Structure 1
Amino acid sequence: MLLFWGSWLGFGKTAQATHIVGGEMELVHNTGESYTLLLNLYFDAVNGNVSVLDADLTASIFEKSTNNRMTNVVLPLSSNTFVNYTNPACAQPTLSTRKLVYSKLITLTADTYNSPQGYYVAVERCCRNYSISNIVAPNNAAQTFYLEFPAVVRGGKPFYDSTPRIFPALADYACRNELFYYDFGGQDADGDSLVYDLVTPLNGHANATVPKPAAADAAPYALIKWNPGLSTLNQIPGAPTLEIGRNSGRLTVRPTSLGLFVFGVRCAEYRRGEKIGESRRDFQLMVLNCAVNTKPSLKLLPAPASPTTYRPGRDTLHFVPGGNRCVRLRFTDPDPNSRLTLSLTPVNFSGLLPTFTSVSSGAVRTAGAPDTLTATLCFPECMNSRGRVFLLDVVVGDDGCSLPKRDTVRVAFTAVPPGNTPPTIAATAGPALPLRVRVGDLVAFDVTGTDLDYDPVQLEMTGLGFSPGALGATLAQGTAGNQQRGRFTWRVDCRAVGPDSVFTFRFAAATSPCSTRDVATISVPVVVSYANHAPVLASSLPVPKGAEIPLLVLPLGRQYTATFTGTDADRDGLTLTASGTSNEGKEGFDLAAAGMRFQAFNGTGAANGTFSWDVSCAAANLHRELTVTFQLVDATCKPLPQVQRVRLQVKSPDSLAVKLYNVITPNRDGQNDEFRLPDLPPNFCDAQFASIRIFSRWGQQVFESQDREFRWPGQGNGGLYYYFVSYTDGRRYRGWLEVIR
């Protein structure tokens, strides 16, 4: 049998292709609005001229409701391969097929492709294989490759669809007066239902004069013309003629005439009972005279020593626990040099299948080969027909041409799996439950799962509303005989402290005899107790008055020492720390930079520390006031820190009020002859006298000095002057001065 669908392709120039044997189109959804449009073409590689293959073909997309052209898509050639025979040994030198794939990524936008009636795509090309036997004037007959697809949006929501991919390409031929069969059932990526029927192939508008139109015309498309006596339902002379299963897509025909025959198949796709698209394909079937191939034969013997042959339709095999579950098969073929192969096809069930425990294929009637082969077919113990009668086709096929001849024995059987005792589970956590533990305790016990049937047991651990692994709990396990033994361990830590202190661990012993899960469970509740008393921090710091932080003002050169003691009734680990803040706690400072030291001795249930401060300019230069915070923290799940604070300040020597003088009488009488400021604040650490500047009433500077012991005797005539005094810490003093002469 030769099945082709394809197109004539030309790389250098457009030529009239007389060896197109069929083709079909596909539309594949990628993601979002991206699709791939494909045209698969099948070409006679024996009689066709590959030098004039088309480098590209043009597909046209139309709106179904109006036949308006949406766009033309140029499809470049992307693949050129040969189609394989079902049985390569049956190859004929006159039959060879190329598969040519043209494809292009396209975008179907929702605002454009939203017509409720959908769209169709067409490619037109001439001409068909001139040796076709069942149509009029085949050398002038063209092909229209046709595909329908739905709108990409429905009800305002995306509607995605990939058209069906149906029946694989074949390079086989049919034998006259022999039954030809092939499963052309398709696949649909979206799970849509597929329905098949035979249709008359489309001819379209291309012809021998214009074999490759620049673009396809809109529908309708003319049909090919059948030879007298043939029609859509009688496309190939035969007894029976060509048929296709409506739901299965299985093609059958027993051709009665030699020749090359074209035929058409349509595959419609349905979603929720509504047709949303269709694919059409043209094929060619070549019918040849073949050597006689006799069908092989198969017999089934239901018992190891039984001479009785199984009688399909009358006998039923019953497989029960403990009984024999194997049958013998004898298969042969009267033809010499036949190679036979056994296969199984379930009819009314799915799941487990029997297996061949001895040879399932071999040659007969060759040199050194037997006339009859034997095999053993064993049904699994776990097979369970659940009171129904299962049907299984046991098929023997030969390697004859063009397709294997087969003999089938349909076996009816019932199967009961062996009985099963559920597993049991036990734990050594008891007898008193719930278990009561504290943070830091180690919880450990054994869990054992047992199965009397010696089915493999697996121990499983879960938590009621929590993950045991997240709490650090583990279950290590191993196998011993018909038991699975596990060791549960859990070091209780702070992860178990929360609003719910009860943790229920569930353990399961699971078996899966015959893929049926059996489970035995046990629960172990654990109550976690947690209580914490606040630690106590005592010190030699001044006692605060109310909420106020005590203030210590100390002069330069003084050394201050404070001691601290921490205790904890729960004997938790204690840690004493000290940190510095200033500017009302908004900024931090390093204790050492301020001449301060804190030494702590931390421990379990007790801690002590010593704070010392060498009062110097190091602290005075930082800020006017420094706050040191002392904190005692208990090492537990929910600490209750204890805090004490003290404010520290370096005493400044400028305790007197600043006096600013404003009159001098430079008349050389020894009284108030010079301007001086002896009562300015004294120099203190980084607060040093910087300068004084004196200005006339007109803004002219008349005097400047960096000596805090300056003397100014006045200048020129008397009058009013202004002065500015600056310190290195940013302080400024200003005033006026009257000179009286």
Structure 2
Amino acid sequence: MPVATPRFVRCRSRCLGLFLLLALWLGCAPAARATHIVGGEMDLLYLQGNTYQITLNLYFDALNGNPGALDNDMTVSIFEKGSNRRMQNLTLPLASNTLVNYTNPACSSPSLVTRRIVYAARVDLSANIYTNAAGYYAAVERCCRNNGISNIVLPADAGQTFYLEFPPVVRNGQPFRDSTPRIFPPLSDYACLGELFYYDFGGVDTDGDSLVYELATPFNGYSTTGVPKPTEARPQPYPEVRWGTGLSVQNQIPGAPTLSINSATGRLEVRPTNVGLFVFGIKCSEFRDGTKIGETRRDFQLKVISCPRNAAPSMSVQMPGTTSSYLPGRDTLRLRPGFSRCITLRFTDPDSPSRLALSLRPVNFPASLLPSFTVTQGTVKSPGAPDTLVSQLCFPACFNSRGQVYLLDIIVADDGCSLPKRDTVRVAFTAIPDPNSPPTITSTAALPLRARVGDLITFDVTGTDTDGDPLSLSMTGQGFQPADQGITFTQGASGNQIRGRFSWRVDCRAVGRPLYELNFLASSSVCSEAQTASLRIPIQIDYTNTPPVLTSSLPPAPTTPIDAPVRIRRAVGGVYEATFAGTDADTDPLVLSATGNGFDLAAAGMSFRATNGAGRATAVFRWDANCAGQQQPDGALEVTFRLEETTCRPEPRTRVVRFELINPDTLAFTPPNIFTPNNDPGQRNEFFTIPNLPPDFCDSRFASIKVFSRWGNQVYESKLRNFRWNGGQQPAGVYFYLIEFTDGRKYKGPITLER
């Protein structure tokens, strides 16, 4: 048996002659005059604020293009739609220059080499300027297209206008952000004469806007061979390229069928009937909330050549447990518990050699439920390789079609050029999963659970799955977060069980509600479907508090008004003592304290000695009266005695006592109203003196006495408390005295002098 030539070598050798002929044919064409443009498109990307980035992707013929036509920058012009008012010109510097890779590198053509030239720059679209409701458009003009294009008139003289439309940046007074569609995949492959060619030409929209695709005649524009790179683009309308005889926007590439595009996905399809190099145009419209907001145009080229014959591979599907083949459209595969869930696939290819690959496409069920192959690819009909490959497709035991008939396409593809040939078998099947028990959940908690502040609650929660499915255990609080209460739940797995340890040291945070309900959930996942078992554990919090009792030797508090404080009065130098006792039926720790309201106890001659303890506290208060009280605004010292308990919700008890200094009695103050300095024998009433002046009291001290005539003239003054005025040389009559104390007190009266 002769040794088979490897398929890709055979393909290369047969294609090489065709490619050389094609290259020779292209080489005989007239000399290119800066012809290089394969196609391209623009996009606008929102960055932040008013800043956008505009990008031009230009595809360059790396074989036949004139290297001198590779520009270091391009100029984009922005216009207002409707009025065609020029808004600005922007220079786009060269950003990158890379080769466009083939979908299948083994099928690369030496006569088809394309470079992707990227020009990009940031642009400011001010919210105060770009507000026209009609929107705006951007354009770049450049000449010239490839000289060898077959479907337009005078391709070497035809230019290209790169074009996009975008909305205003403000709509209804609010910012309107939009990025145009982008990431259109470049086309680097060729099509084979008479064979179906397909390619996903769809773009991506970062805003989630809807995209609609349609064929469009490429723009020629106003660039020429004489002025291939205008300094700026002219406003629309832009002249279009002229189609060759019999061709049009809906028949851009001769074919049966001719070139078409899926309006929703952007998938291109054509079965070409002529060889050659064909340019085509696509318009992608962008919609938001049913309204068109933008448009992007794209031009590109497709080369059609005569390819070596490539036969399609074939595949048969064998029913499980039998030797009979599955008949699409007639048989339904029924997967049941206790029976094999694997089908056998046999696939081959008439070509020699051929590398085959298997794939799956779900028709009416989620891709996450796809079964798996034992063999996904392999080579047939090469030295040491079999003529037929065998693989098994096995469905998970848990697969459940829920009574529906699911459809699954099983696809085998070869490595033929330019695109692989395929054979597809559509399998209809139903699936009943193997029986599976849900998990169970148990607890060591002895219900009902009751706790007081300070108690430690611990118990275990165990989830079990008898089928050994992966398990998880979780805990949630009904209306509260367990972590906020200091609750922990640590877990560990062993075999088909997972165990969690619940621990809670109850503290004062728990007294906010009488009942805490904990929900525990054991979950197992079977075929991406969760099965659960739950457990609810209530914990009741017992908390009561009896307020403490405060007693003292203080006089009873007055009843009118209710909040009036007790009044204790002492003269300077006097002493007052009182005892206090606090008790608590709950034996909570008690603390007795005394606080001066706005003054220091010690400075006022007060002391408070307390003995505190659990359930009982005692204290002794003492006041050695001094003049400190006179410094208060109302001359009184107010003390708050407080009994506090240490518990979650304390209820303190207080007594407020008002301590006042007794001012010496001034009722005995009776100044004389007459004196007679006449040197009588008995020397009686010879002087004006006041022996019973009000006594000095703290800061209130005798300052002076002054005597005035009835005309207001001062006739006498003394700063001595025991003053004696004999009238001096003053004539008899009525005089007036003024007695002043240091705290501002004053006493006035008349005094009659008789001789």
1:57 aligned partner: 75
Q: 2:643 aligns with which of 632, 635, 645?
A: 632
CA distance 1:453–1:709, change in 2 (3 Å) = farther
Alignment partner of 1:564 is 2:580: yes
Q: What is the alpha-carbon distance in structure 2 between the residues aligned to residue 735 and residue 22 of structure 1?
A: 117
Where in structure 2 are the equivalents of 1:694-713 lying within 5 Å? none
1:384 aligned partner: 400
> Residue by residue, what CA displacement relative to the aligned partner does 1:682-724 show, whole Å, maximum 9, x if unpaired?
473x778899999999x99999999999999999999x99999
Q: In structure 2, the residue corresponding to 1:470 is in which secondary structure?
A: helix
Tell me by how many angstroms 1:402 deviates: 3.7
Q: What is the alpha-carbon distance in structure 1 between the residues aligned to residue 223 and residue 665 of structure 2?
A: 113
Give yes or no for contact 1:299–1:309 (8 Å, CA) kept in 2.
Answer: no
Q: In structure 2, the residue corresponding to 1:248 is in which secondary structure?
A: coil
Q: In structure 1, the residue corresponding to 2:186 is in which secondary structure?
A: coil
CA distance 1:152–1:133, change in 2 (3 Å) = same
> Residue by residue, what CA displacement relative to the aligned partner does 1:393-436 show, whole Å, maximum 9, x if unpaired?
333444444444444343333322223333444455566x6x55
Q: Structure 2: which 5+ runs fail to align?
A: 1-14, 20-32
Tell me by how many angstroms 1:281 deviates: 0.7
CA-based RMSD: 4.8
2:342 aligned partner: 326
Q: In structure 2, the residue corresponding to 1:324 is in which secondary structure?
A: coil
2:223 aligned partner: 206
Q: What is the alpha-carbon distance in structure 2 between the residues aligned to residue 477 and residue 110 of structure 1?
A: 60
2:595 aligned partner: 579
Q: What is the alpha-carbon distance in structure 2 between the residues aligned to residue 674 and residue 660 of structure 1?
A: 9
CA distance 1:734–1:145, change in 2 (3 Å) = farther
Alignment partner of 1:462 is 2:476: yes
Q: In structure 2, the residue corresponding to 1:589 is in which secondary structure?
A: coil
Q: In structure 2, the residue corresponding to 1:164 is in which secondary structure?
A: coil
Tell me by how many angstroms 1:215 deviates: 4.2
Where in structure 2 are the equivalents of 1:688-699 lying within 5 Å? none
1:302 aligned partner: 318
> Residue by residue, what CA displacement relative to the aligned partner does 1:112-167 show, whole Å, maximum 9, x if unpaired?
5352x554443333332333222112222122223334556666666554433363
2:119 aligned partner: 101
Give yes or no for contact 2:187–2:300 (8 Å, CA) kept in 1.
Answer: no
2:203 aligned partner: 186
Give yes or no for contact 1:67–1:219 (8 Å, CA) kept in 2.
Answer: no
Q: Which amino acid aligns with 1:259?
A: G
> Residue by residue, what CA displacement relative to the aligned partner does 1:550-584 show, whole Å, maximum 9, x if unpaired?
22333445554322111122333322222110xxx
Q: What is the alpha-carbon distance in structure 2 between the residues aligned to residue 123 and residue 378 of structure 1?
A: 55
Give yes or no for contact 1:563–1:608 (8 Å, CA) kept in 2.
Answer: yes
Give yes or no for contact 1:574–1:605 (8 Å, CA) kept in 2.
Answer: yes
CA distance 1:659–1:126, change in 2 (3 Å) = farther
Q: In structure 2, the residue corresponding to 1:128 is in which secondary structure?
A: coil
1:140 aligned partner: 157
1:506 aligned partner: 519
Alignment partner of 1:174 is 2:191: yes
Q: What is the alpha-carbon distance in structure 2 between the residues aligned to residue 661 and residue 140 of structure 1?
A: 136
Q: What is the alpha-carbon distance in structure 2 between the residues aligned to residue 724 and residue 140 of structure 1?
A: 124
> Residue by residue, what CA displacement relative to the aligned partner does 1:628-674 show, whole Å, maximum 9, x if unpaired?
11111233333222111222245566968999999999999999999
1:647 aligned partner: 658
CA distance 1:553–1:335, change in 2 (3 Å) = same
Alignment partner of 1:517 is 2:536: no
Q: In structure 1, the residue corresponding to 2:527 is in which secondary structure?
A: helix
Q: 1:541 aligns with which of 554, 562, 567?
A: 554
2:104 aligned partner: 87
1:113 aligned partner: 131
Q: TM-score, normalised by structure 1?
A: 0.79
Q: What is the alpha-carbon distance in structure 1 between the residues aligned to residue 691 and residue 51 of structure 2?
A: 90
Q: What is the alpha-carbon distance in structure 1 between the residues aligned to residue 128 and residue 435 of structure 2?
A: 59
CA distance 1:694–1:211, change in 2 (3 Å) = farther
Q: What is the alpha-carbon distance in structure 2 between the residues aligned to residue 708 and residue 332 of structure 1?
A: 137
Tell me by how many angstroms 1:359 deviates: 4.2
1:232 aligned partner: 249
Q: What is the alpha-carbon distance in structure 2 between the residues aligned to residue 338 and residue 87 of structure 1?
A: 14
Alignment partner of 1:262 is 2:279: yes
> Residue by residue, what CA displacement relative to the aligned partner does 1:440-498 show, whole Å, maximum 9, x if unpaired?
55555554444443434434433443444434444444445544444544444444445
Q: Which amino acid aligns with 1:509?
A: A
Give yes or no for contact 1:662–1:735 (8 Å, CA) kept in 2.
Answer: no
Q: What is the alpha-carbon distance in structure 2 between the residues aligned to residue 138 and residue 298 of structure 1?
A: 43
Give yes or no for contact 2:34–2:69 (8 Å, CA) kept in 1.
Answer: no
Q: What is the alpha-carbon distance in structure 2 between the residues aligned to residue 452 and residue 541 of structure 1?
A: 75
Give yes or no for contact 2:592–2:641 (8 Å, CA) kept in 1.
Answer: yes
Q: In structure 1, the residue corresponding to 2:211 is in which secondary structure?
A: strand
Q: What is the alpha-carbon distance in structure 1 between the residues aligned to residue 303 and residue 257 of structure 2?
A: 16
Higher mean alpha-carbon deviation, 181-190 vs 671-680, is at: 671-680
Give yes or no for contact 1:535–1:634 (8 Å, CA) kept in 2.
Answer: yes
Q: Which amino acid aligns with 1:625?
A: A
Q: What is the alpha-carbon distance in structure 2 between the residues aligned to residue 429 and residue 673 of structure 1?
A: 102
Task: Report the count of equivalent residues.
Answer: 712
1:350 aligned partner: 366
1:10 aligned partner: none
Higher mean alpha-carbon deviation, 591-600 vs 656-665, is at: 656-665
CA distance 1:137–1:680, change in 2 (3 Å) = farther
Higher mean alpha-carbon deviation, 205-214 vs 705-714, is at: 705-714
Q: Structure 1: which 5+ runs fail to align?
A: 3-15, 582-587
Give yes or no for contact 1:625–1:647 (8 Å, CA) kept in 2.
Answer: yes
Where in structure 2 are the equivalents of 1:668-707 lying within 5 Å? 682=696, 684=698
Q: What is the alpha-carbon distance in structure 2 between the residues aligned to residue 42 and residue 475 of structure 1?
A: 61
Give yes or no for contact 1:296–1:333 (8 Å, CA) kept in 2.
Answer: yes
1:25 aligned partner: 42
Q: What is the alpha-carbon distance in structure 1 between the residues aligned to residue 716 and residue 195 of structure 2?
A: 131
2:5 aligned partner: none
Q: What is the alpha-carbon distance in structure 2 between the residues aligned to residue 666 and residue 155 of structure 1?
A: 107
Q: 2:303 aligns with which of 262, 282, 286?
A: 286
Q: What is the alpha-carbon distance in structure 1 between the residues aligned to residue 414 and residue 715 of structure 2?
A: 127
Give yes or no for contact 2:84–2:236 (8 Å, CA) kept in 1.
Answer: no
Give yes or no for contact 2:130–2:168 (8 Å, CA) kept in 1.
Answer: no
CA distance 1:559–1:676, change in 2 (3 Å) = closer
Higher mean alpha-carbon deviation, 343-352 vs 668-677, is at: 668-677
Q: In structure 1, the residue corresponding to 2:367 is in which secondary structure?
A: coil
CA distance 1:315–1:734, change in 2 (3 Å) = same
Alignment partner of 1:606 is 2:622: no
CA distance 1:39–1:682, change in 2 (3 Å) = same
Tell me by how many angstroms 1:202 deviates: 1.4
Give yes or no for contact 2:50–2:125 (8 Å, CA) kept in 1.
Answer: yes
Give yes or no for contact 1:24–1:280 (8 Å, CA) kept in 2.
Answer: yes
Q: What is the alpha-carbon distance in structure 2 between the residues aligned to residue 559 and residue 369 of structure 1?
A: 119
CA distance 1:412–1:681, change in 2 (3 Å) = same
CA distance 1:398–1:704, change in 2 (3 Å) = farther
Q: What is the alpha-carbon distance in structure 2 between the residues aligned to residue 323 and residue 598 of structure 1?
A: 92
Give yes or no for contact 1:381–1:418 (8 Å, CA) kept in 2.
Answer: yes
Q: In structure 2, the residue corresponding to 1:419 is in which secondary structure?
A: coil
Q: Which amino acid aligns with 2:401?
A: S
Q: Which amino acid aligns with 1:455?
A: D
Q: Which amino acid aligns with 2:619?
A: G
Flag the structure with larger Rg. Answer: 2
Alignment partner of 1:317 is 2:333: yes
2:4 aligned partner: none
Q: Which amino acid aligns with 2:610?
A: A
CA distance 1:120–1:55, change in 2 (3 Å) = closer
Give yes or no for contact 1:567–1:606 (8 Å, CA) kept in 2.
Answer: yes
Tell me by how many angstroms 1:224 deviates: 0.5
Q: What is the alpha-carbon distance in structure 2 between the residues aligned to residue 134 and residue 563 of structure 1?
A: 116
